[in-house]
Amino acid sequence: MNARRKVSSAAIFLKKTYDMIDTAPSSVAGWSDDGGSFIVREPKEFAAYMLPKYFKHSNFSSFVRQLNFYGFRKTKKEVLLVALETDDLKNSWEFHHELFHQHKPHLMAKIKRKTNYTEQFSDATSTGDDIDDLRNDVTEIKTHLTNLTDQIASLSRLVHSVCHDSLKRSRDDEEPSFVAEKPPPQQRRVMYEQQQFVDNLQYVDVIPFDMLAAPGAHTYATASDMQLRQTLLDAFAYPKPTTDDDDQYRIAL
């Protein structure tokens, strides 16, 4: 009865940690052979499945820092033993506190959380472990950020390519299949002069063609071919007539 009272007076964090280690699958976490320490064999699975059952987070580093505040120490492994261990054991974490024992749960009521800043970080080993944890967290965050950046860049290229193809197809649908090329300047000048020639022909006053063969019939009848040609060319420069006189001398074109 007295032992139960002592257990109930222990810190909530310690009681939850005790129950969590006691009920965890042996492949994930458990007590050491003598019960004087506990081992987390699979930190990732422990954080993902065990921590959320007892705490409001799944951060293994935060759990380790809380253990440090209560005076727990990470057990150091001998270099030779580490070399002989499997990969699973190399990733394991073992924690020890002289008042945290599998077969003596009532002792943890004597464990007090450190409140003095100096006491919390006076132990160089604990500080080194915290730094290692923070470095690991930063490395994981950087890796995750790099992956996200690559994914965003890939999506941006994909969106740009899709938009470019869509815009190109839209322009192709709007434009005619055949677009006449604009003639060069020299050709445009010739075309302009030809059009002017046709426009002037509509307003040139000339005599009927049959009168050209009658000598003395008209002023133009005795003109030479060259003079007639020059006369007609000069007539092209005249403005459009404003009266309808002498319709008999107008050639309908």
Q: Tokens standing for 177?
A: 């299949």
Q: Report the percent of the chain where pLDDT is more than 70.
A: 57
Per the prediction, the chain carries an average pLDDT of: 74
pLDDT bucket at 127, cuts 50 / 70 / 90: low
Q: Above 90 in pLDDT, residue 252?
A: no
Residue range 188-217: mean pLDDT, rounded = 58
Cα torsion 242, 243, 247, 253 to 10°: value is: 20
User: What amino acid is encoded at 124 in this protein?
Assistant: A
Measure the CA–CA gap between 245 and 243, rounded to whole angstroms: 6
Cβ-based neighbours of 169, under 8 Å, separated by 6 or more = none
Task: Match 């458990």 to its residue by tokens.
Answer: 30
Residue 248: pLDDT band with limits 50, 70, 90: very low
* Among 16-20, 69-73, 159-163, the least confident range: 159-163
* pTM beyond cutoff 0.85: no
Band of pLDDT at residue 187, cut at 50, 70 and 90? confident
**In this predicted structure, what is the pLDDT of residue 167?**
84
More confident site: 172 or 177: 172
Predicted confidence at residue 217, as pLDDT, reads 45
The dihedrals phi and psi of 48, each to the nearest 5 degrees, come to -80, -35
Give tens-digit pLDDT for 10-64: 899 999 999 999 999 999 999 999 999 999 999 999 999 999 999 998 999 999 9
The highest-confidence range among 27-41, 68-82, 209-223, 236-250, by mean pLDDT, is 27-41
Token pair in block for residue 209 = 């063609």
Q: Are 100 and 111 in contact (CB under 8 A)?
A: yes
pLDDT at 237 over 70: no
Of the listed ranges 25-29, 137-141, 207-211, the least confidently predicted one is: 207-211
Three-state SS sequence of 51-116: HHHHCCCCCHHHHHHHHHHCCCEECCCCHHHHHHCCHHHHCCEEEEECCECCCCHHHHHHCCCCCC
* pLDDT number for residue 225: 53
CA distance 77 to 3: 33
Q: Is the dihedral of CA 145, 150, 154, 156 positive or negative?
A: positive
Q: Cα angle vertex 16, ends 14, 17, to 5°?
A: 65
What does the pLDDT look like over 191-204, one tens digit per residue?
Answer: 777 777 666 655 54
